[in-house]
Amino acid sequence: MVVVDASGLTKIYGQPCGECVDNTGPAVGDNQCPVCGSVVACADIDFELYDGEVLGIVGESGSGKSSLAELLALDSEATAGTVTYEHYDGNLLAAGYQQRHQLQNERIGMVHQHVRDGLELDFSGGGNVAEKLLAAGWREYDAIRDRVRELFTETEVPVSRMDDPTDTYSGGMQRRVQIARAIANDPSLVILDEPTTGLDVSVQARVLDMFRRIQREQDVATIVVSHDLDVIRLLADRTLVMRHGRIIESGLTDRIMEDPHHEYTQTLINSVI
Amino acid sequence: MILELDTVSKNFEMHVLDGRTVPGLSEVSFGVAEGEFVAIVGESGSGKSSLLKCINRTYEPTGGRIQLQTEDGAVDLASCGDREVLALRDQDIGYASQFLTEIPRVPAVDVVARPLWEQGADRAEARSQARTLLSALQLPESLWDAYPATFSGGERQRINFARAVAPQPRVLLLDEPTSALDPETRECALTLLDEYLDPATTVLGVFHNRAVVERVADRVVVLDDAELQRVVDIETYQSENPA
Amino acid sequence: MTDRQATSSTPDSVDALLDGVDADGLAGYNYAYLDEHTKREVRRSILKSIAIPGHQVPFASREMPLARGWGTGGIQASLSLLGPDDTFKVIDQGSDESVNAANIRRLATTTADVATTSDATEASIIQTRHRIPEEVLSDDQILVLQVPITDALRRVDGSDSANRRRHAHKNYSKMWVALYENIVEYGEIKLSARYPVMVADRYLMDPSPIPRWDVPKLDDADNLFLFAAGREARMYAVPPHTSVTPLAFEDREFQVERFDAAACRHCDSTDTFLTEVETDDGERVFACNDTAFCEKRAANPELTKAHHHDDPKAWGPPTDPAVPYGGDTPPSTNGADLGGDD
């Protein structure tokens, strides 16, 4: 069953002149339109995501992968394109403020690259997770506490730290609290934006491992955005390779890693230390 | 025929060599009957690994067809969609590469048990089966709950082997599965294939060791320089290559 | 404003100058101090507030003859409503006699020539700081409350624009988290003043720093409540018979203050909001916060809070924690009969 079907997804910063998409991209080697100066973060993005599947999106800086993640998480507005989503009638990108918030609370979980975008640092870790439950209408304090403990255990954050302010947590713990938040209301789609960037190596393994387990157990459709091929290899069933705002190659993750077709993909694979 | 290869080719376009094409497989054709054990032999670089990878769709063939008979009919692995391949890899096709790629912080027993969970077995049951397999491969029990990253080549290979064999796929693809094992443990591995696998399992295995080929194979596919040289049954192969 | 009478010569001393001022005095001001345009603006804002219960309505807050933070919002609301037929009561922390209350009352009598009273049942307009009177108000009375901070969400976010957006979309999850954190810290909801309430199930409202004791009085009342802040230049209203529900969890309910069955030292009441006082001997005693009602109770201990109504509506919980407070449950008054009023 298709969870997300994206077509022609485009995000342009600035005042597009109409020729921006044609004048930018991997063929040109730039994201900025030479005519009007607008930046085409991503354009003409098409893909499908199925139930229980993990889709990887890999690319370097300027590839547009994070912009794409933000569009799908409904954190920013698209310039063009349609997204059909199993729990929404019509173009998901056209959803109004209220509906976006409801979807973000109940259906779509996002783990942000920068902790400030994902967590309220002066709330407790438990409070951050409780916020999702409260926004979905939970009104029994004890039940909320139980569910928060459950989610903390699931994401391997020490329950003893549940009531400490989030800004006292380590980077890895903060990331895991974000994951706990993202899965709190059993969403049908989770988006991870650079889930391990900035974390120590041992912590990275732990976060990925934990997320893999949760994803398999709950069979939740996931989009993982990362510049790190190892993260993609570990988590994703299929992968999109992005460059200068376009998808330049897509396929099974192991196929992309071992039999890259596109020149840029070959460079990328050959560059792994 | 459970598997039928028809003029399968794989060429690599190497952009780092200014787009020069390097051949991996050149119009390889042969069929495999259900339950057969086919050994694939040839010199280094002859295309043996490429052949298995094409069947598993880790490589996308550049030409030809690979027909697989499934419960729902025939599928051309060379051209079918990615999602279909993923579904087939769940039940129909199992693949063991030559080396174990570690997943961080997953103990050996869980590496082997994972494909069983994914098929729907319950955790305890899956782990128990995994232990049986590891025991049959003589992997020391002290290592079962340890992380494979620091294990020896032979230990890792056995885990890889157990993982491929555990879910009992209909078609099992093995790429040099015993290359790092001493004769005794190798024998355990091969015995495991006999005893654990369903007799209807079809196996395609790449082997360097002639003795192993003679021990397990029903037929032998010989590759040379990306081309199929010949396909012979095991008796013929043995007589062609006397000890 | 009438022109100041020209003097034959420029004043040569402060006294001479003050003499001149005395002559004009407050007689130079419009009725109830504010000009008619201001009153119109305030009245329009009041109407808008009534039309959207709990929603904060901005108004052009004028310069007043006292500093911000001393009730200028409440005063502007009261002065815009007062007419010659009105009777005005002013209390501060429950007392008519406080300096602030007295000053505000005097401003009204001097500029509006309006009758004043300390009897809550006789006033048509009551201006109050931080308390709602004990006696149940009727459908022809207006209670004007002085408000320091108008937005309940200020507790969780200092950004006004972010909060406005939250109100617009009824997105109050951050306030719920604040309550959750409060319970985590104290085991129960320990917010004492400015307890967040939902008005008409739509807007989150700050009921001003009234004690929790008074919060239930806002729900489905007969009278109109107006909340005004001069410094913040905003006002809001709870019209009669509007639902006002304090935020609470199903298993951590809203609770009012209790006084361990203490009684007022003066009138012996056990169903009024009490203030703890330390006497000169160092003794700790309790006294009614609503001094005017205390006097009435001292004279007539059987007096109910709804004595002036036909319907003996309850208002306010008992001080004894053993007696459950359940909204419509009449409070106990030491066994006195709470039948219809006389």
pLDDT digits (tens, 9 = 90+) for C184-218: 999 989 898 899 999 999 999 999 999 999 999 99
Instruction: Please check whether residue A50 touches B, CB under 8 A.
Output: yes
Q: Are the CB atoms for A4 and A221 separated by under 8 Å? A: yes
Size of interface A-C (CB pairs under 8 A): 47
What residues does each domain of chain A span? 51-82+95-270
Number of helices (H), then strands (E), in chain C: 7, 12
**Distance between CA atoms of A64 and A41, rounded to whole angstroms?**
5
Amino acid C337: pLDDT: 33
CA distances A220 to A205, B86, C62, Å, are 20, 16, 58
Q: What is the mean pLDDT of chain B?
A: 90
Q: Which residue has the tokens 């005794």?
A: B184
pLDDT band at B57 (very low <50, low <70, confident <90, very high): very high
Residue that has been written with the tokens 């345009």 in this structure: C37
Active site residue C74: no
Whole-angstrom distance, CA of residue C304 vs CA of residue C302 = 6
- Where residue A101 falls among pLDDT bands split at 50, 70, 90? confident
Tokens of B34: 């259900």
In this predicted structure, the answer to whether residue C341 has a pLDDT above a threshold of 50 is no
Amino acid at B45: G
**Is C153 in contact with C163 (CB distance < 8 Å)?**
yes
Active site residue C294: yes
Residue B20: strand pairing partners: B14
Query: Average pLDDT, stretch C305-314?
Result: 77
Smallest Cα distance from A84 to chain C, Å: 24
Report yes or no: A189 at the C interface, CB cutoff 8 Å: no
What are the structure tokens assigned to C189, written together? 């909801």
CB contact under 8 A, A120 and C174: yes
Q: What is the ipTM of this complex?
A: 0.89
Of all residues in chain A, the percent with pLDDT exceeding 90 is 69
pLDDT at res. C339: 32
Q: Are A194 and A155 in contact (CB under 8 A)?
A: no
At a CB cut-off of 8 Å and minimum separation 6, what does B140 contact? none
Torsions phi, psi for A158 (to 5 deg): -60, 125
**Which residues in chain A have their CB less than 8 angstroms from residue C251's CB?**
140-143
Select the more confidently predicted residue: C258 or B159.
Answer: B159
The confidence score (pLDDT) of residue C238 equals 98
- Read off the pLDDT of residues A226-237 as tens digits, 9 standing for 90 and up: 999 989 998 999
- A199-226: per-residue pLDDT in tens? 888 888 888 888 888 898 888 999 999 9
Name the pLDDT band for C333 (thresholds 50, 70, 90).
Answer: very low
Instruction: Assign B24 to helix, strand or coil.
Output: strand
CB C111 within 8 A of CB C33: yes
Residue A252 to residue B13, Cβ atoms within 8 A:
no
| B68: enclosing H helix or E strand | strand B63-70
pLDDT over 90 for what percent of chain B?
55
Q: What is the biggest distance separating any 2 CA atoms in chain A, rounded to whole angstroms?
A: 59
Domain A51-82+95-270 CATH class label:
alpha beta
Segment among A52-61, B58-67, B181-190, C302-311 with least mean pLDDT? C302-311
Task: Decide if A6 contacts A72 (C-beta within 8 A).
Answer: yes
| CB < 8 Å to B13, chain A | 261
How confident is residue C9, by pLDDT bands cut at 50, 70 and 90? low
Residue B84 near residue B93, CB atoms below 8 Å: no
Rounded Cα–Cα distance for residues C125 and C135 (Å): 14
Return the partners of chain A (3 or more C-beta pairs < 8 Å).
B, C
> Which residue in the set A98, A105, A134 is minimally distant from C177, CB to CB?
A134
Give the DSSP per-residue string, A228-264: -HHHHHHH-SEEEEEETTEEEEEEEHHHHHHS--SHH
Q: A66-89 burial by CB neighbour count: b if 16+ within 10 A, else e?
A: bbbbbbbbbbeebbebebbbbebe
pLDDT at B100 over 90: no
In the prediction, which pLDDT does C332 show?
36
Spot the catalytic one: C71, C74, C94, C288.
C288
d(CA B190, CA B168): 15
Residue range C21-38: mean pLDDT, rounded: 73
Pairwise CB contact (< 8 Å): A134 & C249: no
Indicate whether B122 pLDDT > 90: no
pLDDT single digits (tens) A143-161: 999 999 999 999 999 999 9
Q: Kindly report, residue by residue over C38-67, the tens digit of the pLDDT.
A: 999 999 999 999 999 999 999 999 999 889
CA angle, residues A201, A206, A210, in degrees to nearest 5? 150
Integer Cα distance of C20 and C32 in angstroms: 22
Determine contact, residues B108/B80, Cβ cutoff 8 Å.
Answer: no
User: Cα-atom radius of gyration of chain B, to the nearest Å?
Assistant: 18
| Tokens 């419009």 sit on residue | C30
Integer Cα distance of B122 and B113 in angstroms: 10
pLDDT number for residue C342: 33
Residue C320 has pLDDT above 80, yes or no: no
Write down the pLDDT at residue C324: 59
A219 in contact with chain B, both atoms CB, cutoff 8 A: no
pTM of the model: 0.84
Q: What is the DSSP letter of A45?
A: E
Mean of per-residue pLDDT scores for chain A = 92
Choose, from C71, C74, C230, C267, the residue flagged as catalytic: C267
The answer, yes or no, to whether residue C19 has pLDDT greater than 80, is: no
Q: Which of A100, A102, A104, A139 best probes binding to C when mutated, by most C CB atoms within 10 angstroms?
A: A139
Report, as an integer, the average pLDDT of C176-185.
Answer: 96
How far apart CA C36 and CA C79 sit, in angstroms, is 11
